[in-house]
Amino acid sequence: MNDTKKTTKTPKAKSSMRFEGPNGELQIVLNRVAPNNIQTFAIHTKTDPAQLSSKGKPKRIRARGVTELHKDETSAKTAIDKIVAQAVKMGWIAKGKVHKAKSDTFDLAHLPTAAAKK
């Protein structure tokens, strides 16, 4: 049973950008779902004062849309740029930093050494 087949996993990468406006909050997300599949989508969150949560606060309602699946990072980033441009054009205001998943600091060939025994 000599298996010489190498398998490499692509780490999940996810980044998002948040916008706010009078109609709630808009989050635009880029998410790697498989090595050659990158998903882009937007989530609109708003509060509904007519519906109250168990704590007496207005319920937050989330809706997801503009979902697309891309084969490469370039087309996914182009799609994100289009969504962001449309959001800004519609009056959404960027909120805070762009959240991006940290990249790996080492790989299998460069694992850190264990602490020396005393």
Whether 72 maps to a domain, the answer reads yes
Whether 3 maps to a domain, the answer reads no
Domain that holds residue 70: 14-98
Whether 111 maps to a domain, the answer reads no
pLDDT in tens, 21-46: 888 899 999 888 887 889 999 999 98
* Helix (H/G/I), strand (E/B), else coil: 5: coil
Indicate the number of domains in the chain: 1
Q: Which CATH number do you get for residue 73?
A: 3.10.450
Whether 117 maps to a domain, the answer reads no
| Residue 109 pLDDT greater than 70, yes or no | yes
Question: For the chain, what percentages of helix, strand and coil (3-state, to nearest 5) are there?
Answer: 15, 45, 40
pLDDT in tens, 54-96: 888 888 889 999 999 999 888 988 999 999 899 889 988 988 7
Whether 112 maps to a domain, the answer reads no
Whether 87 maps to a domain, the answer reads yes
Whether 28 maps to a domain, the answer reads yes
